[in-house]
Amino acid sequence: MILLDGKLVSAEMKLKLKAEVTEMVAAGKRAPHLCAILVGNNGASETYVSSKVRNCEEVGFGSSLIRFDSDISEEVLLDKIHEINDDETIDGLIVQLPLPPQINVQKVTEAISPSKDVDGFHPTNSGRLMQNLPAFIPATPYGILMMLDYYGIQTEGKTCAVIGRSNIVGMPMSVLMARNDSPGNCTVTLCHSKTKNLEQVTAASDIIVAALGRPGFVKENMVKEGAIVIDVGITRVPSATTKSGFKIAGDVDFQNVSSKCAYISPVPGGVGLMTIIGLLKNTMAAAKKEISF
């Protein structure tokens, strides 16, 4: 079994990004700048956003964090987004989800200029992704592609079960694994909460991407010998052994599944770290205006 080591791969990729930023600045250009908007004070969102900002600093990107109270109106939030869309010193804009109920997430998603949409959630970017046109790919699927690529994993002709069909992970992942590209060219089954005989589908698949948010869901009997297993799940579960009182659990029963796998990504230390790389790479691409809309 080979561990898909997000720590190792992301550290290497961050060094490359840092070198690229140094070159840009030496050539008299501005370093890429990511702006994050955080509404309210959800614990997990705070953690994610501060990690994104910290990683920007690590590679030499500029970053700004705009905070709003949870009772902010939709109008004020949309006005801020429009202001950032027009700000030429900001390359990428993300609005951390979830948002409070008075705010329409779809309106927010569509308010962000596609050229600054480094989360890749805008319909323009997801539409372009569907057609295999240059687009900002959502950070988690993008990170997984980079991980597969780094380990030289051949995906062409393989069967792939993606569990979960969210717009953020499962749906784009299924499209990316099916498209005529590398990584890609898989025969994909997109599984979800209404899928019947899911165990049979996964047990027959060469690649499994688990993105449903149910700790330990993928069990030994659901995985065939020599499979490639990518665990996207991040769920906080209570723990008596950590200071915070919780630990992070993935969607795969790693202890029992790993020995059957050719490759498997751990949680933590796997896809989560690659997601950050996806976001940083998108921000770099936005700064360089690599994708024209």
Binding positions for ligand NAD, rule: CB under 6 A: 140, 163-166, 168-170, 191-193, 195, 198, 211-214, 232-235, 271-272, 275
- By the 8 A CB rule, do 94 and 10 touch? no
Of the pair 13, 31, the CB lying nearest ligand NAD is at: 13
List 117, 119, 251, 253, catalytic entry:
119
Pick the closer one to ligand NAD by CB: 83 or 149.
149
> Closest approach of Cβ 22 to ligand NAD, in Å?
27
Cβ 73 to ligand NAD shortest distance, Å: 25
Please report the beta strands in the chain, taking only residues with DSSP state E, as ranges in sequence order: 2-3, 33-39, 62-68, 92-95, 159-163, 187-191, 207-210, 227-231, 235-238, 246-249, 261-264
Asked if 230 and 208 count as a contact pair (C-beta separation under 8 A), the reply is: yes
Decide whether 112 or 218 has the Cβ nearer to ligand NAD.
218
Q: How far is the CB of 239 from ligand NAD (least distance, A)?
A: 16
Burial class (CB in 10 A: 0-12, 13-18, 19+), 179: middle
Residues 138-156 as b or e (16 or more Cβ within 10 Å = b): bbbbbbbbbbbebeebebe
Min CB(251)–ligand NAD separation in Å = 6
Q: Is 119 among the catalytic positions?
A: yes
Could you tell me where the DSSP H helices lie in 196-236? 198-203
Nearest CB to ligand NAD, comparing residues 31 and 171? 171
Of these residues, 80, 91, 96, 253, which one is catalytic?
96
Q: Which residues 6+ apart lie within 8 Å of 181 measured at CB? A: 132
Positions marked catalytic: 52, 96, 119
